[in-house]
Chains A and B, each alone.
Chain A
Amino acid sequence: MTHVRVKMLIAGLVLIASVGYLAVAGVKSGWVYYLQVDDFLQGTDYQARRVRLYGLVSEENIEVYPARLTARFDLLGDNNSLTIHYQGVVPDTFKPGVEVMVEGKLDDTRIFQADVLMTKCASKYQSEEHAKRLEQAQ
């Protein structure tokens, strides 16, 4: 191998190794489980961590204080539900029955303290009403 080739090979390997290292560090720092309420309640090791939960907002026991920047609601799984206490700006799209994603941690009183609340916004490309309409269409 020529001198230049060796140099380039080394440079390439260093580059790939450093990007690999960055990616691993990135995965470690960004590692968040994305769970449904039932799975979250089953796995005790999840409960000590910061996780992301998704599910539907229960129609009952919902208290929203937009100006006080808090919301308290039950997040539904298939069989269980979990009380969420969220602090922050309540998204416009938040209401009973919508699908949401919250990020946070379970506290000692078994209330999930969330500081991220995102609603799954309506689709850009396929709305539910459109799907219903298509079923009727010829």
Chain B
Amino acid sequence: MNSMMIGNLSLGAAVLMAAASLFTAVAAVKFQSDRMLVWGRRLLMLFGIAIVTGSAALMTALVNSDFQNAYVASYTERALPMGYKIAAFWAGQEGSLLFWALLLAGMSAVAVRQFRSRGRTEQSVMLGTLALVCGFFTALMLFAANPFAQLPVTAVDGQGLNPMLQDPYMIAHPPLLFVGYAGYTIPWAMLLAALIAGRKDNQWIGATRKWLMISWLFLTVGIILGAKWAYIELGWGGYWAWDPVENASLLPWLTGTALLHSVMVQQHRGMFKIWNASLIAVTFLLCIFGTYLTRSGIVQSVHSFGESVIGTFFLVFLGVCVLLSLVVILRRRALLKSEHEVQGLMTREGAFLALNVLLVLMTLTTLVGTIFPVISGAVLDEPVSVGQSFYHTAVIPISLALLAVMSIGPLLGYGKDATKKLIASLIVPGIAGAVAVGVAVALGLTNPWALICTAITTVAVFSIGSGLIQAVRQRRKIEDEGPLTATLRVIDNNHRRYGGQFVHLGVVMLMVGVAGSSLFSTKQTFQLTPGESADLNGYTVTRGELNQFRQANYTAIEAHVTLTPSDAIGGAELSLHPQLRFYDKSMGGEHDHPSAHVALDSTLTRDIYMTLAGWEDDGKLVALEAIINPLIAWIWIGGIVMTLGAIFCLMPRLMRETAHVHAPETSSKTAINRPRTLAPATVPLALAGEGQCVLQTPATTTHCPETSS
């Protein structure tokens, strides 16, 4: 039996298992049967085993270069390095769907196990929902995009992987995004389960938080690595082009970010319930919609995915999911009544609300821009596309407003309007912001956007810092601790808050990078003969030899360029080697063109980004393009900080609290496992300043919301 037969049998079995699991889950609700539920659960586990078997079959075919498999023949070749052979698993349509199904199977298994203590209806609905999504992806493969299609004649060698995908970042970027997409399925299933089971409490929303956080984390890393890949590999000097494919990953990220914040309000105050329910559904639906958008060919994109039937499948599935979400949320709207009202704009809830509204507006704006050609094509005769300037005009002001809310939000407490307190805590950050703008103007910065950005980012950094200093100071009034120990303890006692603040710091860094590189990027082209020089922002660019060399599956032409800094800049001489690569399998085929390999010199203040644009007369004349991107490295640093912050949020407490602060029964271990029920009377006290809750007496510390759920 070859790998294709195993693969096809596994897919067939998986579809049957998922359908059977869905069926038994429905039966478990209808007949109130625990046995049905147990069987439904077992069937979903069997689905997982079938998908793992299928994935193993595809991986074996890829690794062994089994060119009888159409997918393997199209996306790999014998000479392809092993890492890329493995990465080809998710490089094509069919393989990426199998990968998605594999992730879904794994996550569903974990989520279903986690849910075993819940009520029968809740468990069954969750199981049924997961089985539905799992079944859809598997059926899609079986009927429209089979990774195990067999060629009549085994190919001698494969077509090879698209050269642009032969990059380490490309190995990591798609699977991370898929983890994010697949992860948002679980909160959706939890939502439907809680609503159909009629849960009135807010505990279930706390359980979604971990899934929301993990999905968000993977989506964030995936998007940033994708941007980095585009920057290094595509050769145009940018990292984000507002292309429909990029927007497709941004849309669920925006609503997912909104959710991370508004879920906290429901947990703590029982508010924003219908908003959260809708956002959970919308985030999941946007993952499906984004996939539909990018794989149906409905929107013209430079990525050009080619029209395929799977678009129709996605559209139908999307319709089913929209309908299901709408019906459940509307029929159970009585469960989603808010327990409190927002008592003022200058409260934590007010800030969360503002942040949510801004993020949703940003989602809508991006969505409108993305599908504008479709809308305008339906209304007007010719499709109109809105291009990058639409996003620059509409989205950038929203992101600055978001940054402003982000910098003041954490200073506010829940409940009472605290305008006076806010003004007091904004004095230092405000002064710092004003000073920063003054310094920027003195240094000759005149661009208003740059100045606004300088002000907001400075205020954000200082308010994060002053919030922490305040908390440390209060702790030291009570505890006999050194500044370092106290700081570490304050941070460790509230991972969610300080992890969040760390993420915010990352966002600020990212914004600095985005602003610097988009407002002040300069581009120059040079046509140079050997030994000829030209000027580039204080550097003298000198062209050396044009060499040719050979690697495993491509031939490269490499230009040697030296950049000598002027006395004003100083520093060492730089040597850059931009290349054009001619991949063997591309030439004469579909990708019959060389691929640019960028030469990059990156520092914290600027990147010099050089590409070999072409040559004439056997290399006597060479054209080079040099782009200077100020501050762009901060985008990647910001991305790393955001990632670390999110990981910190998810981690349990690291240090053991000193004995006299915590009674023995409230040791860190029990604090982590403690269910998150907050007696309403103690809430305002414990939450008045989340960062300071460790200062409460031992009795109130047990109600501290700091620990990760």
Residues of A participating in the B interface, judged by any CB pair closer than 8 Å: 2, 4-5, 7-8, 11-12, 15-16, 18-19, 22-23, 25-27, 29-35, 39, 52, 54, 65-69, 89-95, 101, 118, 120-131, 133-134, 136-138
Measured CA separation A23–B235 after assembly (Å):
30
Q: Report, nearest first, the 7 A-B pairs whose CB atoms are least far apart.
A: A66-B614, A30-B390, A130-B74, A26-B394, A26-B393, A30-B386, A26-B390
Whether the Cβ atoms of A30 and B388 lie closer than 8 Å is yes
Whether the Cβ atoms of A120 and B162 lie closer than 8 Å is no
Q: How far is the CB of A86 from chain B (nearest CB, A)?
A: 13
Q: Which residue of B lies closest to A124 (CB)?
A: B303
Whether the Cβ atoms of B397 and A125 lie closer than 8 Å is no
Q: How far is the CB of B293 from chain A (nearest CB, A)?
A: 12
Which among A5, A19, A22, A121 has the highest number of chain B CB atoms within 10 Å? A19
Name the B residues within 8 Å of A54 (CB-CB).
Answer: 300
Whether the Cβ atoms of A26 and B369 lie closer than 8 Å is yes
Whether the Cβ atoms of B342 and A4 lie closer than 8 Å is yes
Given A23-B368, A89-B525, A130-B74, A120 and B398 contact (CB-CB distance below 8 Å) = no
Q: Which of A2, A23, A101 interacts with B365 by CB under 8 Å?
A: A23
Q: Which of A67, A123, A125 interacts with B622 by CB under 8 Å?
A: A67
Q: How far is the CB of A6 from chain B (nearest CB, A)?
A: 11
Name the B residues within 8 Å of A91 (CB-CB).
Answer: 593
Measured CA separation A22–B368 after assembly (Å):
12
Q: Does B640 contact A (CB under 8 A)?
A: no
Name the B residues within 8 Å of A27 (CB-CB).
Answer: 372, 386, 390
Sample (27) of A-B pairs whose CB atoms are under 8 Å apart:
A4-B341, A15-B358, A18-B397, A19-B365, A22-B393, A29-B390, A30-B388, A33-B383, A66-B616, A67-B614, A69-B613, A89-B525, A89-B614, A89-B625, A90-B613, A90-B614, A92-B595, A120-B302, A122-B162, A122-B591, A124-B165, A124-B305, A126-B305, A129-B589, A130-B92, A133-B74, A133-B149
Instruction: Summarize B's interface: helix, strand, loop or mixed.
Output: mixed
Whether the Cβ atoms of B593 and A22 lie closer than 8 Å is no
Whether the Cβ atoms of B595 and A125 lie closer than 8 Å is no
Q: Does B361 contact A (CB under 8 A)?
A: yes
Name the B residues within 8 Å of A134 (CB-CB).
Answer: 70, 149
Whether the Cβ atoms of B527 and A67 lie closer than 8 Å is yes
Q: Which residue of A lies closest to B373 (CB)?
A: A34
Q: Which residue of B lies closest to A94 (CB)?
A: B593
Measured CA separation A43–B294 after assembly (Å):
31
Q: Which of B382, B387, B622 interacts with A39 by CB under 8 Å?
A: B382
Q: Which of A19, A34, A118, A124 interacts with B385 by CB under 8 Å?
A: A34
Docked complex: B340-379 residues within 8 A CB-CB of A: 341-345, 350, 353-354, 357-358, 361, 365, 368-369, 372-373
Measured CA separation A67–B344 after assembly (Å):
63
Q: How far is the CB of B622 from chain A (nearest CB, A)?
A: 6
Which among A25, A89, A93 has the highest number of chain B CB atoms within 10 Å? A89
Name the A residues within 8 Å of B580 (CB-CB).
Answer: 92
Whether the Cβ atoms of B593 and A125 lie closer than 8 Å is no
Name the A residues within 8 Å of B152 (CB-CB).
Answer: 136-138
Given A26-B391, A30-B389, A136-B151, A15 and B384 contact (CB-CB distance below 8 Å) = no
Instruction: Summarize A's interface: helix, strand, loop or mixed.
Output: mixed
Whether the Cβ atoms of A126 and B306 lie closer than 8 Å is yes
Whether the Cβ atoms of B385 and A32 lie closer than 8 Å is yes
Docked complex: B36-61 residues within 8 A CB-CB of A: none
Measured CA separation A120–B245 after assembly (Å):
13
Which among B162, B385, B589 has the highest number of chain A CB atoms within 10 Å? B385
Given A29-B393, A31-B386, A128 and B590 contact (CB-CB distance below 8 Å) = yes
Q: Which residue of A lies closest to B595 (CB)?
A: A92
Name the B residues within 8 Å of A2 (CB-CB).
Answer: 341
Q: Does B629 contact A (CB under 8 A)?
A: no
Q: Does B159 contact A (CB under 8 A)?
A: yes
Name the A residues within 8 Å of B605 (CB-CB).
Answer: none
Whether the Cβ atoms of A125 and B305 lie closer than 8 Å is yes
Whether the Cβ atoms of B75 and A130 lie closer than 8 Å is yes
Docked complex: B442-484 residues within 8 A CB-CB of A: none
Whether the Cβ atoms of A126 and B92 lie closer than 8 Å is yes
Which among B304, B373, B417 has the highest number of chain A CB atoms within 10 Å? B304
Whether the Cβ atoms of B616 and A67 lie closer than 8 Å is yes
Name the B residues within 8 Å of A4 (CB-CB).
Answer: 341-345, 417
Q: Which residue of B lies closest to A128 (CB)?
A: B590
Whether the Cβ atoms of A137 and B150 lie closer than 8 Å is yes
Name the B residues within 8 Å of A5 (CB-CB).
Answer: 341
Q: Which residue of B lies closest to A97 (CB)?
A: B592
Whether the Cβ atoms of A68 and B390 lie closer than 8 Å is no
